[in-house]
Amino acid sequence: MTVPSTATATVDSKVVLITGASSGIGEATARRLAAAGHRVLLGARRTDRIAAIAEDIRSTGGSADHHELDVTSLDSVRAFVRAAHELHGRVDVLVNNAGVMPLSTLDALKVDEWNRMIDVNLRGVLHGIAAVLPAMRAQGAGHIVNIASVSGHRVDPTAAVYSATKFAVRALSEGLRQESRDLRVTVISPGLTHSELTEGISDPGAREAARDMMKIAIPAAAIGEAINYAISQPLEVDVNEVVIRPTAQS
Ligand code: NDP
Protein backbone atom coordinates (compact mmCIF):
# COMPACT_ATOMS: atom_id res chain seq x y z
CA MET A 1 0.00 0.00 0.00
CA THR A 2 1.36 3.43 -0.91
CA VAL A 3 1.59 6.10 1.76
CA PRO A 4 0.76 9.54 0.34
CA SER A 5 3.76 11.86 0.40
CA THR A 6 1.58 14.35 2.31
CA ALA A 7 1.67 11.99 5.33
CA THR A 8 3.66 14.17 7.72
CA ALA A 9 3.34 14.83 11.43
CA THR A 10 0.76 17.56 12.06
CA VAL A 11 -0.93 18.90 15.20
CA ASP A 12 -3.53 16.14 14.81
CA SER A 13 -0.85 13.52 14.41
CA LYS A 14 -1.26 10.97 17.19
CA VAL A 15 1.41 8.69 18.62
CA VAL A 16 -0.01 5.21 18.02
CA LEU A 17 1.44 1.98 19.39
CA ILE A 18 0.41 -1.23 17.61
CA THR A 19 1.09 -4.66 19.06
CA GLY A 20 1.42 -7.59 16.66
CA ALA A 21 2.31 -5.29 13.76
CA SER A 22 4.49 -7.79 11.88
CA SER A 23 1.65 -9.19 9.72
CA GLY A 24 -2.07 -9.19 8.99
CA ILE A 25 -4.30 -6.68 10.75
CA GLY A 26 -1.50 -5.04 12.75
CA GLU A 27 0.61 -4.40 9.65
CA ALA A 28 -2.37 -3.08 7.68
CA THR A 29 -3.32 -0.81 10.59
CA ALA A 30 0.20 0.58 10.84
CA ARG A 31 0.22 1.38 7.13
CA ARG A 32 -3.25 2.98 7.22
CA LEU A 33 -2.61 5.11 10.29
CA ALA A 34 0.78 6.26 9.01
CA ALA A 35 -0.89 7.22 5.73
CA ALA A 36 -3.34 9.31 7.77
CA GLY A 37 -0.38 11.21 9.24
CA HIS A 38 -0.07 9.48 12.61
CA ARG A 39 3.28 8.48 14.13
CA VAL A 40 3.22 4.70 14.52
CA LEU A 41 5.38 2.44 16.64
CA LEU A 42 5.24 -1.18 15.52
CA GLY A 43 5.79 -3.98 18.04
CA ALA A 44 6.17 -7.75 17.55
CA ARG A 45 8.63 -10.57 18.16
CA ARG A 46 9.69 -10.84 14.48
CA THR A 47 11.81 -7.69 14.50
CA ASP A 48 13.07 -8.21 10.94
CA ARG A 49 9.47 -7.92 9.73
CA ILE A 50 8.54 -4.81 11.71
CA ALA A 51 11.84 -3.15 10.78
CA ALA A 52 11.11 -3.72 7.07
CA ILE A 53 7.49 -2.49 7.36
CA ALA A 54 8.57 0.65 9.26
CA GLU A 55 11.27 1.33 6.67
CA ASP A 56 8.74 0.89 3.87
CA ILE A 57 6.34 3.34 5.55
CA ARG A 58 9.13 5.90 6.02
CA SER A 59 10.22 5.52 2.38
CA THR A 60 6.79 6.76 1.31
CA GLY A 61 6.70 9.74 3.66
CA GLY A 62 5.15 8.29 6.83
CA SER A 63 6.43 8.33 10.41
CA ALA A 64 7.15 4.81 11.68
CA ASP A 65 9.48 3.14 14.16
CA HIS A 66 9.67 -0.39 15.50
CA HIS A 67 10.51 -2.05 18.80
CA GLU A 68 10.79 -5.69 19.82
CA LEU A 69 7.75 -6.80 21.80
CA ASP A 70 6.47 -9.93 23.51
CA VAL A 71 3.07 -9.09 24.98
CA THR A 72 3.21 -12.06 27.36
CA SER A 73 5.87 -10.16 29.33
CA LEU A 74 4.82 -7.03 31.23
CA ASP A 75 8.46 -5.88 31.22
CA SER A 76 8.57 -6.14 27.44
CA VAL A 77 5.32 -4.19 27.03
CA ARG A 78 6.57 -1.51 29.42
CA ALA A 79 9.82 -1.22 27.40
CA PHE A 80 7.73 -0.86 24.22
CA VAL A 81 5.74 1.99 25.77
CA ARG A 82 8.91 3.57 27.16
CA ALA A 83 10.36 3.59 23.62
CA ALA A 84 7.38 5.62 22.42
CA HIS A 85 7.83 8.13 25.24
CA GLU A 86 11.54 8.43 24.40
CA LEU A 87 10.74 8.96 20.70
CA HIS A 88 7.72 11.24 20.96
CA GLY A 89 7.20 12.19 24.63
CA ARG A 90 3.69 10.78 24.77
CA VAL A 91 1.36 7.91 23.84
CA ASP A 92 -2.04 8.81 22.42
CA VAL A 93 -3.35 5.46 21.19
CA LEU A 94 -2.55 1.83 21.99
CA VAL A 95 -3.89 -0.80 19.60
CA ASN A 96 -3.86 -4.12 21.46
CA ASN A 97 -3.85 -6.32 18.38
CA ALA A 98 -1.41 -9.20 19.01
CA GLY A 99 -3.22 -12.52 19.04
CA VAL A 100 -3.01 -16.24 18.35
CA MET A 101 -5.72 -18.74 17.39
CA PRO A 102 -4.59 -22.38 17.63
CA LEU A 103 -8.06 -23.91 17.23
CA SER A 104 -8.90 -27.44 18.40
CA THR A 105 -11.67 -29.27 20.22
CA LEU A 106 -11.38 -29.30 24.01
CA ASP A 107 -10.99 -33.08 24.12
CA ALA A 108 -7.72 -32.77 22.20
CA LEU A 109 -6.40 -31.39 25.51
CA LYS A 110 -3.93 -28.99 23.91
CA VAL A 111 -3.44 -27.32 27.27
CA ASP A 112 -0.25 -25.54 26.22
CA GLU A 113 -2.14 -23.89 23.36
CA TRP A 114 -5.01 -22.91 25.70
CA ASN A 115 -2.46 -21.24 27.95
CA ARG A 116 -0.77 -19.49 25.03
CA MET A 117 -4.12 -18.02 23.92
CA ILE A 118 -4.75 -16.79 27.47
CA ASP A 119 -1.21 -15.40 27.69
CA VAL A 120 -1.25 -13.54 24.37
CA ASN A 121 -4.91 -12.69 23.72
CA LEU A 122 -5.96 -11.83 27.27
CA ARG A 123 -2.92 -11.31 29.49
CA GLY A 124 -1.23 -9.44 26.61
CA VAL A 125 -4.12 -6.96 26.44
CA LEU A 126 -4.01 -6.50 30.22
CA HIS A 127 -0.27 -5.87 30.02
CA GLY A 128 -0.91 -3.23 27.37
CA ILE A 129 -3.49 -1.51 29.54
CA ALA A 130 -1.19 -1.65 32.58
CA ALA A 131 1.69 -0.15 30.58
CA VAL A 132 -0.19 2.88 29.22
CA LEU A 133 -2.90 3.63 31.77
CA PRO A 134 -0.83 5.67 34.28
CA ALA A 135 0.58 8.00 31.59
CA MET A 136 -2.79 8.35 29.85
CA ARG A 137 -4.46 9.21 33.18
CA ALA A 138 -1.71 11.77 33.81
CA GLN A 139 -2.26 13.26 30.33
CA GLY A 140 -6.01 13.29 30.96
CA ALA A 141 -6.52 11.68 27.54
CA GLY A 142 -5.76 8.56 25.57
CA HIS A 143 -7.36 5.86 23.47
CA ILE A 144 -7.13 2.10 23.92
CA VAL A 145 -8.26 0.02 20.96
CA ASN A 146 -8.65 -3.68 21.72
CA ILE A 147 -8.96 -6.21 18.90
CA ALA A 148 -11.54 -8.83 19.90
CA SER A 149 -13.37 -10.89 17.28
CA VAL A 150 -16.73 -12.09 16.02
CA SER A 151 -15.65 -15.03 18.22
CA GLY A 152 -16.07 -12.62 21.13
CA HIS A 153 -19.79 -12.59 20.30
CA ARG A 154 -20.41 -16.24 19.45
CA VAL A 155 -18.88 -19.63 20.19
CA ASP A 156 -18.15 -22.32 17.61
CA PRO A 157 -16.67 -25.82 17.92
CA THR A 158 -12.83 -25.77 18.13
CA ALA A 159 -12.95 -22.10 19.22
CA ALA A 160 -14.01 -22.49 22.87
CA VAL A 161 -10.79 -21.17 24.40
CA TYR A 162 -10.18 -18.61 21.65
CA SER A 163 -13.74 -17.33 22.12
CA ALA A 164 -13.26 -17.27 25.89
CA THR A 165 -10.26 -14.95 25.49
CA LYS A 166 -12.14 -12.68 23.09
CA PHE A 167 -15.30 -12.55 25.27
CA ALA A 168 -12.94 -11.58 28.08
CA VAL A 169 -11.35 -8.80 26.01
CA ARG A 170 -14.81 -7.34 25.40
CA ALA A 171 -15.67 -7.61 29.11
CA LEU A 172 -12.53 -5.88 30.33
CA SER A 173 -12.86 -3.21 27.64
CA GLU A 174 -16.36 -2.42 28.90
CA GLY A 175 -15.06 -2.31 32.46
CA LEU A 176 -12.27 0.08 31.48
CA ARG A 177 -14.74 2.25 29.57
CA GLN A 178 -17.07 2.48 32.58
CA GLU A 179 -14.18 3.43 34.87
CA SER A 180 -12.95 6.15 32.48
CA ARG A 181 -14.17 9.66 31.81
CA ASP A 182 -10.89 10.74 30.22
CA LEU A 183 -9.95 7.76 28.02
CA ARG A 184 -11.64 6.43 24.92
CA VAL A 185 -12.02 2.65 24.68
CA THR A 186 -12.83 0.91 21.42
CA VAL A 187 -13.37 -2.77 20.69
CA ILE A 188 -12.87 -3.85 17.10
CA SER A 189 -14.38 -7.26 16.36
CA PRO A 190 -13.28 -8.59 12.98
CA GLY A 191 -14.77 -11.57 11.19
CA LEU A 192 -12.80 -13.65 8.71
CA THR A 193 -9.86 -11.50 7.61
CA HIS A 194 -6.81 -12.31 5.47
CA SER A 195 -3.76 -12.72 7.71
CA GLU A 196 -1.36 -15.37 8.99
CA LEU A 197 -3.64 -16.33 11.89
CA THR A 198 -4.55 -19.86 10.67
CA GLU A 199 -0.86 -20.78 10.27
CA GLY A 200 -0.66 -21.30 14.03
CA ILE A 201 -3.30 -24.06 14.09
CA SER A 202 -1.58 -27.38 14.88
CA ASP A 203 -4.71 -29.56 14.67
CA PRO A 204 -4.90 -30.75 10.99
CA GLY A 205 -8.71 -30.92 10.85
CA ALA A 206 -9.23 -27.53 12.48
CA ARG A 207 -6.57 -25.98 10.24
CA GLU A 208 -8.18 -27.31 7.08
CA ALA A 209 -11.64 -26.13 8.18
CA ALA A 210 -10.32 -22.67 9.06
CA ARG A 211 -8.48 -22.33 5.76
CA ASP A 212 -11.65 -23.34 3.93
CA MET A 213 -13.64 -20.66 5.77
CA MET A 214 -10.98 -18.09 4.94
CA LYS A 215 -11.91 -18.32 1.24
CA ILE A 216 -14.43 -15.52 1.89
CA ALA A 217 -12.06 -13.44 4.06
CA ILE A 218 -11.87 -9.67 3.66
CA PRO A 219 -8.56 -7.75 3.38
CA ALA A 220 -6.82 -6.73 6.60
CA ALA A 221 -6.94 -3.14 5.30
CA ALA A 222 -10.71 -3.14 6.01
CA ILE A 223 -9.93 -3.46 9.72
CA GLY A 224 -7.24 -0.77 9.55
CA GLU A 225 -9.83 1.52 8.02
CA ALA A 226 -12.22 0.96 10.96
CA ILE A 227 -9.47 1.68 13.47
CA ASN A 228 -8.60 4.87 11.60
CA TYR A 229 -12.29 5.87 11.76
CA ALA A 230 -12.45 5.28 15.51
CA ILE A 231 -9.33 7.24 16.39
CA SER A 232 -10.12 10.15 14.05
CA GLN A 233 -13.37 11.04 15.83
CA PRO A 234 -13.47 14.17 18.01
CA LEU A 235 -12.11 13.52 21.54
CA GLU A 236 -15.60 13.59 23.07
CA VAL A 237 -16.79 10.85 20.69
CA ASP A 238 -15.92 7.32 21.79
CA VAL A 239 -16.65 4.62 19.19
CA ASN A 240 -17.23 1.73 21.58
CA GLU A 241 -17.47 -1.26 19.29
CA VAL A 242 -17.27 -2.06 15.61
CA VAL A 243 -18.02 -5.51 14.17
CA ILE A 244 -16.72 -6.00 10.63
CA ARG A 245 -17.10 -9.26 8.76
CA PRO A 246 -17.35 -10.49 5.18
CA THR A 247 -20.79 -9.97 3.69
CA ALA A 248 -20.88 -13.72 3.01
CA GLN A 249 -20.00 -14.76 6.61
CA SER A 250 -22.80 -16.40 8.63
P1 NDP B 1 -1.53 -12.62 12.25
O2 NDP B 1 -1.12 -13.99 12.66
O3 NDP B 1 -1.24 -12.18 10.86
O4 NDP B 1 -0.94 -11.53 13.26
C5 NDP B 1 -0.80 -11.80 14.62
C6 NDP B 1 0.21 -10.83 15.18
O7 NDP B 1 0.33 -11.06 16.58
C8 NDP B 1 1.58 -10.98 14.56
O9 NDP B 1 2.09 -9.71 14.26
C10 NDP B 1 2.41 -11.61 15.67
O11 NDP B 1 3.75 -11.12 15.65
C12 NDP B 1 1.69 -11.07 16.90
N13 NDP B 1 1.98 -11.83 18.11
C14 NDP B 1 1.70 -13.13 18.38
N15 NDP B 1 2.18 -13.46 19.59
C16 NDP B 1 2.78 -12.34 20.08
C17 NDP B 1 3.47 -12.05 21.28
N18 NDP B 1 3.65 -12.98 22.25
N19 NDP B 1 3.95 -10.80 21.47
C20 NDP B 1 3.80 -9.87 20.50
N21 NDP B 1 3.16 -10.08 19.34
C22 NDP B 1 2.67 -11.32 19.14
O23 NDP B 1 -3.10 -12.56 12.54
P24 NDP B 1 -4.18 -11.37 12.51
O25 NDP B 1 -3.64 -10.18 11.88
O26 NDP B 1 -5.41 -11.97 11.98
O27 NDP B 1 -4.39 -11.15 14.08
C28 NDP B 1 -4.48 -9.88 14.69
C29 NDP B 1 -5.61 -9.87 15.70
O30 NDP B 1 -6.86 -9.98 15.01
C31 NDP B 1 -5.57 -11.03 16.69
O32 NDP B 1 -5.89 -10.54 17.99
C33 NDP B 1 -6.68 -11.94 16.20
O34 NDP B 1 -7.22 -12.73 17.24
C35 NDP B 1 -7.67 -10.93 15.68
N36 NDP B 1 -8.68 -11.44 14.76
C37 NDP B 1 -8.33 -11.91 13.52
C38 NDP B 1 -9.29 -12.41 12.67
C39 NDP B 1 -8.95 -12.96 11.33
O40 NDP B 1 -9.83 -13.56 10.68
N41 NDP B 1 -7.75 -12.79 10.83
C42 NDP B 1 -10.71 -12.43 13.05
C43 NDP B 1 -10.96 -11.89 14.36
C44 NDP B 1 -9.99 -11.42 15.17
P45 NDP B 1 5.06 -11.98 15.97
O46 NDP B 1 4.76 -13.41 15.69
O47 NDP B 1 6.09 -11.39 15.06
O48 NDP B 1 5.35 -11.68 17.42
User: Average pLDDT in the 117-145 region?
Assistant: 97
CATH class of 15-244: alpha beta
Q: What's the confidence (pLDDT) of residue 12?
A: 84
Query: What's the CA-to-centroid distance between 99 and ligand 1, angstroms?
Result: 4
Q: Which amino acid is at 76?
A: S
Residue 9: the pLDDT is 43
Indicate the average pLDDT of the chain.
Answer: 95
* Residue 5 burial (C-beta neighbours within 10 Å; 0-12, 13-18, 19+): exposed
DSSP 129-147: HHHHHHHHHHHT-EEEEEE
Q: Is the pLDDT of residue 115 over 50?
A: yes
Res 10: pLDDT? 47
User: Residue 2's pLDDT is what?
Assistant: 38
Q: Tens of pLDDT along 23-58? A: 999 999 999 999 999 999 999 999 999 999 999 999
CA 40 to chain centre: 13
Kindly tell me if the per-residue pLDDT of 11 is higher than 60: no
- Return the domain boundaries, the chain: 15-244
- The CA 55 to ligand 1 mean position distance, Å, reads 21
pLDDT of res. 62: 98
Catalytic residues: 162
Among the atoms of ligand 1, which is closest to the Cα of residue 223?
30
- Relative to the CA of 70, which ligand 1 atom is closest? 19
CA angle 11, 17, 23 (to 5 degrees): 125
Our CA dihedral for 186, 125, 244, 174, rounded to 10 degrees, sits at -40
Q: Out of 31, 195, 216, 244, give the residue to mutate to test ligand 1, the one with the largest number of ligand atoms within 8 Å of its CB.
A: 195
Ligand 1 atom with minimal separation from the 21 CA: 9
Q: For 175-201, what is each residue's pLDDT tens digit? A: 999 999 999 999 999 999 999 999 999
- Identify the residue whose C-alpha is closest to ligand 1 atom 32: 99
Pocket of ligand 1 (CB under 6 A): 19-26, 44-46, 49, 69-72, 97-101, 120, 147, 149, 190, 192-193, 195-197
CA of 11 to the centre of ligand 1 (A): 31
pLDDT tens column, 220-234: 999 999 999 999 999
The pLDDT of residue 5: 39
This prediction's pTM: 0.96
| Of 26, 23, 31, the residue nearest 48 (C-alpha) | 23
